Amino acid sequence: MNCQECQNFVDEYFHHELSFKIKQQVRGHLKGCSVCQTEYLQYEKMLQEISSLEIQPCPDEVTERVFQILNLADEKKIHFSFIENIINFLSRYRWKVVLTGATAVIVFFLILFYPKINRQTDIKQQYSEAEIRQATDQVKLALAYFSEITNRTQKIIEEQVLPHQVIEPMKSSIKTAIKPLLNGGES
Amino acid sequence: MKKTQFKKFVARYKDLIYSHAYYFTGNTDDAADITQEVLLKLWHHLDKIAPGAMKSWLLKVTKNLCIDCSRRNREIAFSTLTNGSNPERFELEQIETGLNPEQETINNDTKNRILNAIQKLPPKIKDVIIMREIHDLKYEDIASSMDLPMNSVKVYLHRGRKLLFEYLKPYFG
């Protein structure tokens, strides 16, 4: 190992960050080279001096000034204390939850009824009023026909179906009942 | 509640902040101003900082404010130099070291020489050297406050020591 290589490893050697092999090489070189040895001792001294520098204590005036400024900030804050109280009140009584629930219900109903409202507006947009009136008249006429048909059907049932279904069976049962009498008591 | 917590953090970290700013800028007035600004920022962001990340957050803010401060000082020095109101030699020296003339004249003891040498380091290397060599912080803390991987921190540290040795070699020789 030459002097340049050794001096490149001085920092790692001092902080025990070298592999065993290189460490041995550096140590060997330092033993034999007075220049590098002096350099190493200077380096060691410098690092010791640097690490002996103390943490500078912060003057009390600095923190006092900061606290003073923040006290002013507190006074400003009083203007907002009313709003803060309202927020605290709402959060204490869980109004957030109530408001969220109410919003959810409103949104649900909007989703439910929106298509209907939308459809009505669609129809109004698609057809003219005259067309809608014409369609309404046709529906009324159809209903009138249907009512007429229903009435007639009812009459037919009363006049034809009922006698056929009720009276004819009664007649036949009476005939059956009186048949022995007509035949002179023979069954 | 917030006040108590804030005062607790101030008591714990004020010296670290002030000391970092002092060794970075090289003068007590700038260090005091930076510390004040950092503490005010701490008050405003106290709720947002995770308890475990407090130290690295404070160091990060301090570091940024120190860089801003030294940049400002350099600009002032440059404008004074271009105005030509002071002797040229002194102004050049001030640009290089960032120190005022009183400090420059009384720096004949070891600590002042080291402080002077630290001022000459590039900002990132300077931060790492102050955090590790003076404040004895862990590599992890330095890495998180600098947003750097651990290996880069080690590289900066290595370069910083080499540069300091170059600057201070005549004195220790």
Whether residue B116 is contained in a domain is answered as yes
Range 38-57 of A in CB contact (< 8 A) with B? 42-43, 45-47, 49-51, 53, 55-57
Residue B66 neighbours by CB under 8 Å, 6+ apart: B20, B21, B24, B25, B34, B123, B127
User: Closest by alpha carbon to A49, among B38, B171, B80?
Assistant: B171
- From chain A, the residues in CB contact with B158 under 8 A are 11-12
Spell out the long-range contacts of A69-74 with Cβ–Cβ below 8 A and sequence spacing 24 or more: A69/B40, A70/B6, A70/B40, A70/B43, A73/B43
- From chain A, the residues in CB contact with B114 under 8 A are 49-50, 53
Of the candidate ranges A14-28, A60-74, B20-34, B109-123, the one whose mean pLDDT is the lowest:
A60-74
ipTM over 0.90: no
Q: What is the pLDDT of residues B38-64, one digit of tens each?
A: 999 999 998 888 878 888 899 999 999
- End of a domain among B86, B114, B149? B86
Where is pLDDT greater, at A168 or B155?
B155
Same domain for B130 and B75: no
- From chain A, the residues in CB contact with B168 under 8 A are 46
Same domain for B150 and B104: yes
What pLDDT score was predicted for residue A17?
Answer: 84
Structural domain range at position B137: 100-173
Say if the Cβ atoms of A46 and B14 lie within 8 Å: no
**Looking at the partner chain, which of A46, A55, A65 has a beta carbon nearest the beta carbon of B164?**
A46
**Looking at the partner chain, which of B15, B110, B135 has a beta carbon nearest the beta carbon of A57?**
B15
For chain A, first and last CA: distance in Å? Answer: 146
Same domain for B150 and B128: yes
What pLDDT score was predicted for residue A184?
Answer: 58
CA distance B38 to B16: 11
Question: Does the pLDDT at position B86 exceed 50?
Answer: no
**What percent of chain A is predicted at pLDDT more than 90?**
2
Residue of B nearest to A70 (CA): B40
- End of a domain among B26, B54, B86? B86
Q: Is A111 on the interface with B (CB under 8 A)?
A: no
What pLDDT score was predicted for residue B92?
Answer: 39
Q: What is the pLDDT of residues B8-18, one digit of tens each?
A: 889 889 999 99
**Looking at the partner chain, which of A12, A53, A62 has a beta carbon nearest the beta carbon of B114?**
A53
Whether residue B81 is contained in a domain is answered as yes
Say if the Cβ atoms of B35 and A58 lie within 8 Å: yes
Same domain for B67 and B31: yes
Same domain for B69 and B105: no
CATH number, domain with residue B4: 1.10.1740.10
Q: What average pLDDT does this structure show over B83-98?
A: 44
- Which residues of chain A have a pLDDT value below 70? 72-82, 84-97, 115-125, 161-165, 181-187
What pLDDT score was predicted for residue B95?
Answer: 42
Range 94-113 of B in CB contact (< 8 A) with A? 110-111
Say if the Cβ atoms of B43 and A63 lie within 8 Å: no
- End of a domain among B40, B60, B86? B86
Q: What is the pLDDT of residues B134-145, one digit of tens each?
A: 888 888 889 998
Q: How many domains does chain B have?
A: 2
Q: What is the pLDDT of residues A105-125, one digit of tens each?
A: 888 878 877 766 666 666 666
Say if the Cβ atoms of A57 and B10 lie within 8 Å: no
CATH number, domain with residue B167: 1.10.10.10
Say if the Cβ atoms of A56 and B164 lie within 8 Å: no
User: Closest by alpha carbon to B23, among B89, B118, B88?
Assistant: B118
User: Residue B94: which pLDDT band, with cuts at 50, 70 and 90?
Assistant: very low
Same domain for B137 and B73: no
User: Residue B34: which pLDDT band, with cuts at 50, 70 and 90?
Assistant: very high
Same domain for B104 and B82: no
Whether residue B166 is contained in a domain is answered as yes
What pLDDT score was predicted for residue B89?
Answer: 38
What pLDDT score was predicted for residue A164?
Answer: 67
What pLDDT score was predicted for residue B37?
Answer: 93
Same domain for B157 and B80: no
- From chain A, the residues in CB contact with B165 under 8 A are 42-43, 46
Whether residue B91 is contained in a domain is answered as no
Of the candidate ranges A88-92, B123-127, B150-154, the one whose mean pLDDT is the lowest:
A88-92
Same domain for B53 and B113: no
What pLDDT score was predicted for residue B65?
Answer: 92
Residue of A nearest to B33 (CA): A62
Q: Is A32 on the interface with B (CB under 8 A)?
A: no
Same domain for B2 and B82: yes
**Looking at the partner chain, which of A12, A63, A69 has a beta carbon nearest the beta carbon of B10?**
A63
Q: Is A181 on the interface with B (CB under 8 A)?
A: no
Say if the Cβ atoms of B19 and A55 lie within 8 Å: yes
Q: Is B67 on the interface with A (CB under 8 A)?
A: no
